[in-house]
């Protein structure tokens, strides 16, 4: 694989402003429990929904932001549970709310990713809000008592408002407190219990209100600020511990602990050298984490025993982020105990809570799980998009002699600015680069691309063309062209699949008027998750190489598939309709009772072909988790040369059947390749609804140990297929790996696996290299097993190495010219580079070139790496690229050149290239 390493593609990663788990623990929850989800809000208005099932952190979906939109805080609530007529519990549905520097609280439709409703009142912009704790039955509970969860919002003028969520609505209910004359801003708010609200303000005070009648219970003053600080102290965050005590974090960097019964100050602890912006606590209330503007995470423990006077002490602090830590969230249960933090550096961190100092922290990918890249290999075009802008590049063939790779190996052909308030959700380019499709949640736009005949400059002309009306108005979350360029598939925000046909024989590409809406199978709900239709959200879609099979996957792991019946016939009408009765047979019928059929019984036929459900689609099993990679294996040169059927012989119109068409099923031979959220690998024969022979012989448990221990989830695949191999080049945020699907993997030791690599063509004189290979493989196998055993159990990183200490002694200061200079223990990309070197030293022959491998490397920042082997390597992996925005195929392979290496463009977006971090450095 010849990889073009690229860092010139701009992607404006946005700061993390908000984090919120759908529940903070499993305490007081009984089965069935709602699904655990993490909502992450960014400064550009994006909301990301993450899953952490089995400790595998995956970005499931993104609700795109828009122009002049931001997310400053997020909150989940759950509707009250109900019971059916048999007495079984019906789980209450989860609802998600946000605020964003406006005078409104917005609820989001989890199914479509669009705004569902918003509530405003006679108050200024909302600065903070919080959800009421869930109702739990007590002895004092009344039958008519409200059992839902209302919201309280704090505004810029100091007003506190109660918003009702009753009857699945969101409306203003009443004011809890009106702003004073001093216009003190409410910075933070939380619920002490279902009847008590605690709010922090900009005038050095914390106020406690009775939510039932709006009376002020107590006014707590933070006292004088630290020397040199402003007179008024900002109360950035207030939290309530399980025992009722109150914790506050302020602009002096201090944490103050208040007695929840007497409302008096119990203790003050200095936590940060600058403002303390957020804090969270464990379920038992004995551990508190705080984050500040200094980028540090500080940990506080409650010492002493029950019944004694207990004191809080700061036990550790560590700088993990570059810049402000703007948001934190906690989930503390038996099987997973973690703290999430995020801020200006755009990447969330997972920090162990219960196993703090026993497990390492972990950095989650800060870039989209679904790559924001597309390519046209035939025309050597690379397409990238972000927010409302699209960039199209031409990637020229680079010469191995030119090191480092110069800038003239690429050219920016054009930039397209979309006239829409909504951000772009998906972009697709046709195989011949004549069409570009762009989608947002409320529209689909099409553009005609044509090269300008100019000897002096490589240019591209862009013209907007009309999109099919229904598709253009509905918008789409995913969009893609078929490999033959004749079909455009779009997944609407409601997860409906629509198809549009490109008209043949037109100088200017146009689409036929009619759309085809494909029906999905009805699935029976087996497990309640509290998310209704969200888990049926389509997250991936793929065409087969012959463009005759279409497959869509959803977040629950189901697969829907459709096939294109009949053969292409250029002499047939471009578009025709047939009723269900006439489409059911080609031989005609003696009855015309169905002549008055409804539109639902009509089938739209395009050039003698029509889409229908896959006859074996119901045989495809439900996967263990949502697919992250969904792709058909590319055709080998021999398969591409196989003849195809032209037209539909033997199909003729009759008086009783004026619209005949063929029902011949396609003969797709490419298996469907899937990698799920839990990194389970499957290949399916879609037309039979069965696992392929290779997949039955090679379950994930026998795949290389290193692949099974990779933490960052797969993002995509690039194919390298010929008559001798079928290589799937997978990649994630920090790794690139190869699996050869033409070979079998044995559940034997890694040593045996390594010895098989390249043995076929090695003669007896290579025995010494085999011995060296055996020693290196044995070393690699032991390291792989050690990584497996070191896997943490708390949902964060691996177990900390024996003897490794991480306490308050993680800060070293050197005195120069009478000033203290802080020496950190390595953060951000510096730690990543250290990890990379350590990994490269430990990988052994499966990742490094050896005696039976030829290595071709073009150095430099934009260099390329290609590794080929005279033997048949089964597996290869590297961690030298990070963080990866995406990898796409590039260049058209010559049919007669079997030994020619395929090309791919790999786009990196290093953290130190972020504009906000560069400004911070200044």
Do residue 417 and residue 515 come from a single domain? yes
Q: Which residue has the tokens 């945020």?
A: 733
pLDDT at 546 over 50: yes
Residues 6+ away with beta carbon under 8 Å from 603: 577, 578, 579, 580, 583, 610, 612
Last residue of a domain, one of 681, 701, 721: 701
Do residue 481 and residue 598 come from a single domain? no
C-alpha to C-alpha distance for 427 and 151, rounded to whole angstroms: 38
Do residue 610 and residue 718 come from a single domain? no
Report the number of distinct structural domains present in the chain. Answer: 3
Across 320-336, average pLDDT: 94
Higher pLDDT, 182 or 124: 124
Average pLDDT, the chain: 83
C-alpha to C-alpha distance for 12 and 885, rounded to whole angstroms: 11
Residue at 849 is within a domain: yes
Do residue 696 and residue 712 come from a single domain? no
pLDDT value of residue 758? 41
Last residue of a domain, one of 473, 507, 530: 530
Do residue 660 and residue 751 come from a single domain? no
In the chain, what is the greatest distance between 2 CA atoms, to the nearest angstrom?
A: 103
Confirm if 298 and 317 have CB atoms less than 8 A apart.
yes
Q: Confidence class of residue 268 from pLDDT cuts 50, 70 and 90?
A: very high
Confirm if 844 and 780 have CB atoms less than 8 A apart.
yes
Q: Confidence class of residue 601 from pLDDT cuts 50, 70 and 90?
A: low
C-alpha to C-alpha distance for 345 and 342, rounded to whole angstroms: 8
Residue at 753 is within a domain: yes
Of all helices (H) and strands (E), which one includes residue 491?
strand 487-491
Residue at 520 is within a domain: yes
Any idea what the CATH number is for the domain that residue 386 is in? 2.130.10.10
* 214-242: pLDDT as tens digits: 999 999 999 877 777 778 899 999 999 99
Residue at 295 is within a domain: no
Confirm if 235 and 200 have CB atoms less than 8 A apart.
yes
Confirm if 290 and 271 have CB atoms less than 8 A apart.
yes
C-alpha to C-alpha distance for 45 and 815, rounded to whole angstroms: 43
Confirm if 368 and 803 have CB atoms less than 8 A apart.
no
The helix/strand/coil state of 751 is helix
Give the other-Cβ count within 10 Å of 404's Cβ.
10
Give the other-Cβ count within 10 Å of 437's Cβ.
24
Single pTM value for the model = 0.87
C-alpha to C-alpha distance for 757 and 743, rounded to whole angstroms: 11
Render 373-428 in DSSP notation, one character per residue. Answer: EEEEGGGTEEEEEETTEEEEEEEPPPPTTSSSPPGGGEEEEEEEE---SBPP-EEE
Across 523-547, average pLDDT: 92
pLDDT at 890 over 70: yes
Burial zone of 798 (CB within 10 Å; 0-12 exposed, 13-18 middle, 19+ buried)? middle
The helix/strand/coil state of 240 is strand
pLDDT at 626 over 70: yes
The sheet that has 478-481: what strands, in order across it? 478-481, 487-491, 497-502, 511-518
Kindly compute the dihedral angle of the four CA atoms of residues 662, 665, 668, 672, in this order, to the nearest 10 degrees.
130
* 56-100: pLDDT as tens digits: 999 999 999 888 899 999 999 999 988 888 888 889 999 999 999
C-alpha to C-alpha distance for 797 and 327, rounded to whole angstroms: 20
Higher pLDDT, 221 or 513: 221
C-alpha to C-alpha distance for 247 and 237, rounded to whole angstroms: 8
Kindly compute the dihedral angle of the four CA atoms of residues 350, 354, 358, 360, in this order, to the nearest 10 degrees.
0
pLDDT value of residue 68? 84
Of 310-319, 763-772, 858-867, give the range with the top mean pLDDT. 310-319
pLDDT value of residue 828? 41
Across 296-325, average pLDDT: 91
Confirm if 622 and 556 have CB atoms less than 8 A apart.
yes
Residue at 105 is within a domain: no
* 688-716: pLDDT as tens digits: 999 999 999 999 999 998 899 999 999 99
Do residue 449 and residue 379 come from a single domain? yes
Buried/exposed code over 118-135 (b: 16+ C-beta within 10 A; e: otherwise): bbebebbebbbbbbbbbe
Q: Confidence class of residue 796 from pLDDT cuts 50, 70 and 90?
A: confident
The sheet that has 16-21: what strands, in order across it? 16-21, 37-42, 47-51, 58-63
Distance between start and end Cα atoms, the chain: 40
Render 159-198 in DSSP notation, one character per residue. Answer: -EEEEE-GGG--EEEEEEE---TT---EEEEEEEETTEEE
pLDDT value of residue 642? 63
Q: Confidence class of residue 588 from pLDDT cuts 50, 70 and 90?
A: very low
Nearest to 861 by CA among 49, 1, 5, 2: 5
Nearest to 110 by CA among 676, 559, 493: 493
The sheet that has 105-108: what strands, in order across it? 73-78, 94-99, 105-108, 115-119
Of 301-305, 358-362, 560-564, 644-648, give the range with the top mean pLDDT. 560-564
Residue 736: φ, ψ to 5°:
-135, 130
Do residue 712 and residue 855 come from a single domain? yes
Last residue of a domain, one of 663, 682, 701: 701
Give one word for 163, left, alpha or beta, with left for phi > 0 and alpha for psi -120 to 50: beta
Q: How many residues does the chain have?
A: 922
Residue at 471 is within a domain: yes
pLDDT value of residue 896? 59
Do residue 387 and residue 417 come from a single domain? yes
pLDDT value of residue 261? 94
Residue at 626 is within a domain: yes
Tokens matching residue 425: 């959700």
Nearest to 576 by CA among 553, 552, 605: 605
Can you give 112-164 as a three-state secondary structure string? CCCEEEEECCCCCCEEEEEECCCCCCCCCCCCCCCCCCCEEEEECCCCEEEEE
Do residue 375 and residue 506 come from a single domain? yes
Confirm if 34 and 888 have CB atoms less than 8 A apart.
no
Do residue 661 and residue 725 come from a single domain? no
* 799-836: pLDDT as tens digits: 776 555 555 444 555 555 555 555 544 444 434 433 44
CA angle in degrees (0–180, nearest 5) for 404-406-409: 125
Do residue 400 and residue 526 come from a single domain? yes
Q: Which residue has the tokens 């790996």?
A: 737
Q: Are strands 82-83 and 105-108 parallel, antiparallel or unpaired?
A: unpaired
pLDDT at 259 over 60: yes
C-alpha to C-alpha distance for 324 and 276, rounded to whole angstroms: 10
137-146, 240-249, 312-321, 675-684: least confidently modelled range:
137-146
Q: Which residue has the tokens 């203290």?
A: 820
Q: Are strands 610-613 and 681-685 parallel, antiparallel or unpaired?
A: unpaired
Do residue 422 and residue 508 come from a single domain? yes
Give Cα separations from 519 to 439, 522, 562, 612, 763 (angstroms). 21, 9, 9, 9, 57
| Helix ranges, 705-766 (H) | 705-709, 750-756
Residue at 869 is within a domain: yes
Q: Are strands 196-201 and 186-193 parallel, antiparallel or unpaired?
A: antiparallel
Q: What domain range includes position 708?
A: 703-760+824-912+918-922
Give the other-Cβ count within 10 Å of 25's Cβ.
18
What Rg value do the Cα atoms of the chain yield, rounded? 30
Q: Confidence class of residue 789 from pLDDT cuts 50, 70 and 90?
A: low
Q: Confidence class of residue 517 from pLDDT cuts 50, 70 and 90?
A: very high
| HSE, side-chain direction, 13 A CA sphere, residue 355 | 23
pLDDT value of residue 428? 98
């Amino acid at each position: 694989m010849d990889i073009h390493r690229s860092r010139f593609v701009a992607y404006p990663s946005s700061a993390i402003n908000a984090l919120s788990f759908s529940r903070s623990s499993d305490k007081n929850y009984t089965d069935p429990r709602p699904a655990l989800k993490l909502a992450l809000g960014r400064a550009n208005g994006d909301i990301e929904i993450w899953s952490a099932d089995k400790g595998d952190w995956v970005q499931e979906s993104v609700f795109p932001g828009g122009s002049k939109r931001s997310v400053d805080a997020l909150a989940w609530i759950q509707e009250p549970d109900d019971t059916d007529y048999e007495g079984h519990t019906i789980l209450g549905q989860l609802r998600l709310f946000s605020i964003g520097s406006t005078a409104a609280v917005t609820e989001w439709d989890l199914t479509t990713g669009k705004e569902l409703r918003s509530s405003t009142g006679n108050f200024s912009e909302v600065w903070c809000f919080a959800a009421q704790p869930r109702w739990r039955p007590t002895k004092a509970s009344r039958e008519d008592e409200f059992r839902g969860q209302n919201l309280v919002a704090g505004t810029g003028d100091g007003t506190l408002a109660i918003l009702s969520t009753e009857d699945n609505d969101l409306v203003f209910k009443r004011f809890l407190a009106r702003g004073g004359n001093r216009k003190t801003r409410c910075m933070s708010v939380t619920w002490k219990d279902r009847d008590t609200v605690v709010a922090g303000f900009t005038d050095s005070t914390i106020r406690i209100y009775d939510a039932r009648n709006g009376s002020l219970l107590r006014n707590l003053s933070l006292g004088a600020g630290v020397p040199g600080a402003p007179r008024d102290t900002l109360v950035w965050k207030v939290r309530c511990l399980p025992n009722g005590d109150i914790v506050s974090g302020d602009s002096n960097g201090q944490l103050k602990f208040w007695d929840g019964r007497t409302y008096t100050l119990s203790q003050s602890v200095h936590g940060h050298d600058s403002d303390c912006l957020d804090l969270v606590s464990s379920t038992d209330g004995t551990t508190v984490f705080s984050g500040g503007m200094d980028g540090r995470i500080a940990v506080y423990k409650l010492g002493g025993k029950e019944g004694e006077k207990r004191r809080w002490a700061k036990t550790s602090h560590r700088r993990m982020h570059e810049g402000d830590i703007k948001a934190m969230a906690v989930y503390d249960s038996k099987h997973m105990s973690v703290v999430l933090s995020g801020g200006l550096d755009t990447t969330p961190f997972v920090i162990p809570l219960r196993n703090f100092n026993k497990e390492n922290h972990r950095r989650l990918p800060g870039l989209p799980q679904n790559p924001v890249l597309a390519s046209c290999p035939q025309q050597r075009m690379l397409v990238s998009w972000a927010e409302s802008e699209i960039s199209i590049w031409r990637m020229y063939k680079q010469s191995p002699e030119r090191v480092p790779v110069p800038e003239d190996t690429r050219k920016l052909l054009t930039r397209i600015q979309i006239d829409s308030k909504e951000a772009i959700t998906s972009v697709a380019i046709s195989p011949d680069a004549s069409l570009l499709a762009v989608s947002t949640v409320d529209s689909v736009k099409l553009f005609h691309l044509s090269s300008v005949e100019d000897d002096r400059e490589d240019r591209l002309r862009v013209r907007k063309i009309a999109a099919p009306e229904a598709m253009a108005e509905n918008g789409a979350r995913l969009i893609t062209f078929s490999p033959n360029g004749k079909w455009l598939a779009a997944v609407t925000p409601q997860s409906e699949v629509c198809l549009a046909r490109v008209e043949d024989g037109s100088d200017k590409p146009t689409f036929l008027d009619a759309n085809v809406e494909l029906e999905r199978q009805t699935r029976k709900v087996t497990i309640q998750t509290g998310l209704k239709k969200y888990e049926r959200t389509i997250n991936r879609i793929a065409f087969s190489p012959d463009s005759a099979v279409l497959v869509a996957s959803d977040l629950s792991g189901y697969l829907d598939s459709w096939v294109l019946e009949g053969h292409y016939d250029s002499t047939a009408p471009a578009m025709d309709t047939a009723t269900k009765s006439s489409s059911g047979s080609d031989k005609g019928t003696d009855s015309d009772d169905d002549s008055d059929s409804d539109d639902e019984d009509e089938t739209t036929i395009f050039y003698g072909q029509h889409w229908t459900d896959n006859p074996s689609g119901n045989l495809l099993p439900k996967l263990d988790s949502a697919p992250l990679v969904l792709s058909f294996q590319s055709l080998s040169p021999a398969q591409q040369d196989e003849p195809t059927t032209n037209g539909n012989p033997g199909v003729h119109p009759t008086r009783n059947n004026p619209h005949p068409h063929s029902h011949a099923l396609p003969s797709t031979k490419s298996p469907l390749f899937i990698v799920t959220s839990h990194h389970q690998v499957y290949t399916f024969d879609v037309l039979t609804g069965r696992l392929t022979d290779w997949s039955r012989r090679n379950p994930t448990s026998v795949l290389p140990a290193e692949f099974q221990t990779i933490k960052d989830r797969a993002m995509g695949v690039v194919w390298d297929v010929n008559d001798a191999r079928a290589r799937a080049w997978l990649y994630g945020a920090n790794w690139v790996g190869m699996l050869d699907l033409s070979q079998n993997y044995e559940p034997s030791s890694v040593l045996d696996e390594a010895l098989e690599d390249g043995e076929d063509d090695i003669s007896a004189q290579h025995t010494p290299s085999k011995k060296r290979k055996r020693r290196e493989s044995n070393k690699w196998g032991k390291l792989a097993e050690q990584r497996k055993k070191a896997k943490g159990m708390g949902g964060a990183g691996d177990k900390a190495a024996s003897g490794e200490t991480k306490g308050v002694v993680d800060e070293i200061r050197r005195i120069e010219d009478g000033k203290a200079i802080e020496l950190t223990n390595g953060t951000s990309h510096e730690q990543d580079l250290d990890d990379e070197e350590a990994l490269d030293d430990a990988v052994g022959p499966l990742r490094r070139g050896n005696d039976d491998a030829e290595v071709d490397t073009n150095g430099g920042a934009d260099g390329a790496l290609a590794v080929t082997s005279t033997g048949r390597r089964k597996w290869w992996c590297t961690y030298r690229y990070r963080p990866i925005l995406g990898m796409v195929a590039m260049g058209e392979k010559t049919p007669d050149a079997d030994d020619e290496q395929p090309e791919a463009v790999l786009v990196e977006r290093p953290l130190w290239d972020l504009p906000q971090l560069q400004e911070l450095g200044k």
